[in-house]
Every structure is written in C-alpha cells, then in structure tokens.
Structure 1
Amino acid sequence: MANMKKLRRDYGDVIWTGKKCIMGLPISFTRYILTTTVLYTKIGFFNIKEDEIDLYKIVDKTMKFTLGQRMVGCGTIVVTSRDCDTPNKELVSVKKPRQVKKLLDEAVKLERDKYMVRGRDMVGANLHDHDGFDAHGDDIDADYDETAEE
C-alpha cells in the first residue's frame, strides 16, 4: 500500500500500474504507469529512464501474444501515438493485457473528449511547416503566389 501512495504522490491519479513479466513473474526493472492523463514507462534500477505519452495523442493500440506469454497469462500491448519522441511504445509482457487495454481505451477516450480531439484531427500533427523552405530545389518558395505581384 505504501508503494501505491508513493506512486500517487509522484504521478497523480494512477489508474493502473504493472511490470514487465519474465516467464510470468514481475521481476524486471521496467514499470508501466497509467494515469488519467499520461502513460509512463520507467526503466532501470540504478540509472532510471522515464518516458511519457499524453493519452490524447494515442491513435492506435494492438496486442501481441507469443506462445510463452499465452501460457502464463501475459501479452504485449503496442501503442501508436502522435508523440514526436515516442511514436511507438510497447508495454512488453504485462499481466492481464486485455483488461489493461480496456483501461487504456477508456482513459484515452476521456482525454480526447476533454480536449475535443479525435485521431483524425491529429493527422500530420507532428509534421512541421517550414516557411520559406524550397521543397523542390528550384529556388521557388512553396508558399509563393505569382498572382500576388500582378
């Protein structure tokens, strides 16, 4: 219980937390934390690396099950997002993956409703518009309008 208090103190409203399982046992140093707004991945013991994805940026979720994972009740959830740093994230070998995916679906839906965003609204969201960039190498700016001079 003290661990959950620490997680709530550090991350806010925690919906779910889990560890990467090896042969069905949560003995790795990879922890996944799902809050109401963000999906965190925390890796390491001495040196800790932490990555996060805002839930409203998630556009797709798929699940993979190897034979070994199915034997011990685990699975891998692959998350595709419009996040520039982490476009793809794998929640590797988590226990009860279908329940976790359902929790993730509900949290993503609530965040999208909060920001009034849908997946189709974010198409090309991580592409940057470079004004004055000559895309074709012909010394003509892509935004240049010849009719404006006349």
Structure 2
Amino acid sequence: MKQILPILILILLSNNAISLTVEDLKNTPASKYDLVVLRMRTMALEATLHIKGKRPEKYRQFEIRDSMITEENGKIYVVTKISGPAKDISQDMCNYLKEYFVERSALDIFKKEALSGLTSEEFKTMSELIYPGIELIATENPDLKINCR
C-alpha cells in the first residue's frame, strides 16, 4: 500500500510527468541480462504453481513452498523455499536438500529454458552466474530459517 500511494499522488498531480516517465521507459532498451532475469522470475512463479505442496522423495517430512529468484553479490540464485519440522532444520539438511535438487538436474533444466535464445558464449557466461539455493523454514516457527547458497 505504501508503494501505491506515491504513484496515485503522481497520477493526480501531473499527467505530463507520468507520460515523460513512460516515454523514458519506452526509449530505454532492456539488456539481455535484464530479460533473462525477468524470464527466470516468471519461470520461478510458474514453477511454484507446479511444485507447491509437493514433498521431496527422500525427505518426506519437508514440503516445498515456492521458488524464487534472488540476486546477491553478482550471482543469480534459484531459491526453493521448503518448510519442515523445526527439529529437522539444520545447515546439513539444507545442504542435503540443495544437492538433492542439483542431482535431479532441476537447475540445468531451468537454465536451459531460461537462457534459450542466447548465443553459446552468452549462455556460458550467464550460466556461470546461476546457482541453486535452498531456504529451509520451520513449520512451527517461520522465523527459524536457514539459507544455503
């Protein structure tokens, strides 16, 4: 709501300011990097629709919540959020789950789809920036989280 209020004020105060901003946006080209990240974010949202509520095969006590893209320190992370019992939330378990998803080639499939349309050199460069990530969240206490990236 806090983000919408300034936009509404701008609309009410000046249509010219808004049209200049829209014109600026229309004339500013997006980089291939920006388009890839946008595509990845869209794919993560779509993936969430298919994986939400599912349980990893070997780790049935956990449930997949969603998938998202984060950018940190010049890297792009495909983060899968997983919830489970607090007693099972640990750095070791986080690492096991990350490897579990890597072993199933989920990241490779994601990269192949997200980076389609790039030259082989662009694919290689972008592919080297993309990493898997897991965020483990305790079901009983959502403030108890462990990230492994």
TM-score by length of 2: 0.26
Which structure dedicates a bigger proportion of its chain to helix? 2
Structure 1 or 2, whichever has the larger Rg, is: 1
Query: Which is bigger in relative contact order (C-alpha 8 A, separation at least 6)?
Result: 2
TM-score by length of 1: 0.26
Which structure dedicates a bigger proportion of its chain to strand? 1
